[in-house]
Amino acid sequence: MKTGRCDTLAEVPTLLNKGTRISLMLPRHQTITDEIKYETSSNTWNKNYINYIDVIRNYFNYRSNLPNSLSSKLINIDFGNDVVAHTADKHLPLTTHVDIELKLTPKKIISSRFELCKNENFRQCKYKWPYRSYDGSCNNFENPTWGMAQTRIWTPAVASSGHELPPARLLSYHLFPELRIKDPIWTLLTMQWGQIVTHDMAQLATAPNFNLPSTSCCDENGQLSKQNLNNPECFPIVIGNNDPIYDRHITQCLTFSRATTDYQVANCRLAAVSDSNQSAEQITMVTQFLDLSNIYGSSERAANILRTQSGGRLRTQILNHREFLPPVFIMNSSTFACDEDRPEQVCYGAGDDRVNQNPQLTLLQTMLVREHNRIAIILGHINPHWFDETIYQETRRIMIAQHQFITYYEWLPIIIGVQNAFDYKLIYHTDDIDYIDDYNSNINPTVLNEHSNGAFRVLHSLVAGYLKLVDEKRSPSSHKFLRLSDWFLRPSIIAKADNLDDLTRGLADQPEQTRDEFYDHEITEFLFRGRNRLGGDLRSIDIQRGRDHGIATYNDYREFCGLRRARNWADFSDYISPNNIEKLSRLYEQPDDVDLSVGGSLEINAGGALTGPTFLCILIEQFYRTRVGDRFWFETPNSVAAFTQEQLSEIRKATIARFLCDNSDNIRTMQRRAFEKPSINNPIVKCADLPSINLSLWKDYTLELPGQQSKQHFSILYKK
């Protein structure tokens, strides 16, 4: 099916009548919220509501340019007629009115959501339950599936010229070479915390997640698989004849399978109305809130497996008299992977099956579990009448609150710029404010495809190919290094000798790479290489994944985000260097062809941020949604279980530095701002001198009766 781009609403009906998917371009002051109501006697529709916002919502507006309220459409669907939309005001007086007529069939509209079979037995929300669900459901009472696991990620149509795009590997090699430039300020911990955040918010579904057969597009020798050459699920990264690294006679392709979609797993009643023109939507396997699904899991089953069911603690194993993540076999899942070559070497289990990808990721997830158990032990001690469930849930709440505070107030301003974080109301000055009361049930916190498969991947340029091990004396002469590709999927390294502490100090001492167009060869030539000479190319994967997901072009998003739409190559010169523009003109046929992942990554950084303006626009939009659309956000006063003002003040004492100190094996010193390199203005101090949370404020003075969860307990503990 061809794809069309429309600059005005008037063009939409024409494109849709031609059977064309649309990427809707609206002025930045306009936005649309559409809701579809099925009214038919057929059991297929059963008067369900489907949120159609994703098909044409122009969410790329900067927050300052949004109208005071949104226009909404009520679309009545009848099997025998076209769809007619009419304007319907939605609650607020200052509504931006947009008139439009759409001609869609139920078959086309059915693809706008993944709710499918799994939600036919959707459980009723517990309106007075003070804790988050494990799968993210019921965060929003009006839209209980928003942000939950196993729902789709938003996908706009691709604006394409119709010509074949240049191979992803060709773009990777020519546009993103290796040049190791150290960041003058920020440590490698900044990069690594970014992976914790992105794994918490999104995970692409793969065939094994749904017990579907997986497809290998290339054989073990790197040759195109003749058996699967015509398989529609194959989308291999083809290697060119003159590739200087992957010689074509040795490697023809790098395996890349298309993302699992709702169309593939729709084996229930909705599949009956699908057809070949249906637009498939990608699925995320984790909750889309910032809720530490990495360690707690995204389902009740996973959460129960990861718990000891005693004292509110999470399961661990003891290795060399120290606490580490539990062994992978407890998860009983085929999606976890390790590359250990001896049975005595460990492979870890966690709430996220990517936990073993690299040593630093495994290290931080180990520390998160240790922090949970540290807090649980303290809460159990000061509240001996609490049962396992109460200790666990209260600890989980505190953990998520710390995570949200560190991420938004300490880490995010580094990525998007301090002033942007305040200007776009992602964070607030908290010296003169207690709660932040701006939760909005109309804001969908679902992760944007352009965020997880575009803007957020720009942080891959921060990755360092060699990991520094730093001892307690921090003597430069004693520093050792690990080669990153030697330890992909081999997590046992962190449990050996003093590696956990030495790698932790290394994270807080070693500078990350600068955010630019240069990528370390460890991730562009040796990714997950195992025992092989070469591995994969993460930059090629980033580009290929954007195409797989149907993400529109860089030029489209430039315009969405307020930049001038490029009509010729020179128009890119506002944020892309002349050298890179010249390369783009040789690799692509026209400016409208440039992939979002490519163009956004080539932009020079906007003032104060570690990204250019296009990706900055998308990141701001996503992190605004993530906060304002979360009913359980730690600063809200309105949740059933909002923190008291005193408790909230303690949460705001959390720092990444104290987190590292408390959960290491034997680290005694750390700089106060661990995302920032040690310096005269950021000296290394004793861990004991760093601020810590006073958990005595969670002392419960009620008495919980044996065998019951006291409602009085909740009302008194959270009394404001």
Contact 269, 44 (CB under 8 A): yes
Question: Considering only CA atoms, which of 607, 717, 594, 621 is closest in space to residue 165?
Answer: 594
What is the distance between the alpha carbons of residues 540 and 543, in angstroms, rounded to a whole number? 5
- Please work out, in degrees rounded to the nearest 5, the angle formed at the alpha carbon of residue 164 by the alpha carbons of 158 and 167: 100
Contact 412, 421 (CB under 8 A): yes
- Structure tokens that stand for 125 in this block: 């929300």
**Residue 307, beta-bridge partner list:** 314
Instruction: Write out 579-614 in H/E/C secondary structure.
Output: HHHHHHHHHCCCHHHCEHHHHHHHCCCCCCCCCCHH
What is the distance between the alpha carbons of residues 510 and 718, in angstroms, rounded to a whole number? 42
199 is catalytic: yes
Tell me, what amino acid is at 85? Answer: A
Contact 203, 575 (CB under 8 A): no
Are β-strands 32-38 and 3-6 bridged in parallel, bridged antiparallel, or unpaired? unpaired
* Active-site option among 199, 372, 451, 713: 199
Are β-strands 21-24 and 3-6 bridged in parallel, bridged antiparallel, or unpaired? parallel
Tell me, what amino acid is at 684? Answer: I
Q: How far apart are the first and last CA of the chain?
A: 56
Residue ranges of the alpha helices (H) in 406-548?
A: 412-416, 418-423, 449-452, 499-507, 521-524, 538-548
Q: Where are the beta strands (DSSP E) in 78-157?
A: 84-88, 151-152
What is the distance between the alpha carbons of residues 487 and 490, in angstroms, rounded to a whole number? 5
Is 381 annotated as ligand-binding?
Answer: no
Q: Where are the beta strands (DSSP E) in 358-493?
A: 466-469, 480-483
Dihedral of alpha carbons 450, 455, 456, 460, sign: positive
- Structure tokens that stand for 550 in this block: 């149907």
What is the distance between the alpha carbons of residues 422 and 424, in angstroms, rounded to a whole number? 6
Return the H-helix or E-strand segment holding 3: strand 3-6
Question: Considering only CA atoms, which of 98, 16, 116 is closest in space to residue 57?
Answer: 98
Spell 184-219 as b/e; 16+ CB within 10 A means b.
eebbbbbbbbbbbbbbbbbbbbbbebeeeeebebbe
Contact 169, 238 (CB under 8 A): yes
Return the H-helix or E-strand segment holding 196: helix 188-201
What is the distance between the alpha carbons of residues 39 and 693, in angstroms, rounded to a whole number? 54
Q: Is residue 368 packed enough to be buried (19+ CB in 10 Å), middle (13-18) or exposed (0-12)?
A: buried
Kindly state the DSSP code that residue 411 receives in the 8-state scheme.
Answer: I
Helix-helix angle 359-382:499-507, to 10 degrees: 100
Tell me, what amino acid is at 407? Answer: T
- In degrees and rounded to multiples of 5, residue 257 shows phi and psi of -100, 145
Contact 427, 680 (CB under 8 A): no
Helix (H, G, I), strand (E, B) or coil at 360: helix
- Structure tokens that stand for 11 in this block: 């063009």
**Which residues are known to be catalytic?**
199
- Known binding-site residue numbers for heme b: 460
- Known binding-site residue numbers: 460
